Homo-oligomer: A and B are copies of this chain.
Amino acid sequence: MTISNEWRRDDCSVQRALAILGERWTILVLREAFFGKRRFDEILDGVGCARNLLTDRLATLVEHAVLERLPYRDEGQRERFEYRLTERGRELFPILIALMQWGDRWVPAPSGPPIVVEHRDCGARVVAELRCADGHGALTARDTLARGKAARRGTKRAV
Contacts and interface: CB of A to CB of B under 8 A. Distances in A.
Interface of A: 1-3, 6-7, 9-22, 24, 27-28, 31-37, 42, 45-46, 48, 85, 88, 90-109, 111, 113-122, 124-134, 136-137, 139-152, 156-159
A140 B93 contact: yes
- Tell me if A's interface is mostly helix, strand, loop or mixed: mixed
Contact of A117 (B42, B94, B142, B158): B158
A83 to B, nearest CB: 12
B103 A14 contact: yes
B105 A120 contact: no
Contacts of A18: 27-28, 99
15 contacts: A1-B37, A14-B100, A16-B107, A17-B103, A34-B158, A34-B159, A36-B146, A91-B106, A94-B101, A114-B150, A115-B151, A116-B146, A120-B145, A128-B130, A129-B131
B14 A94 contact: no
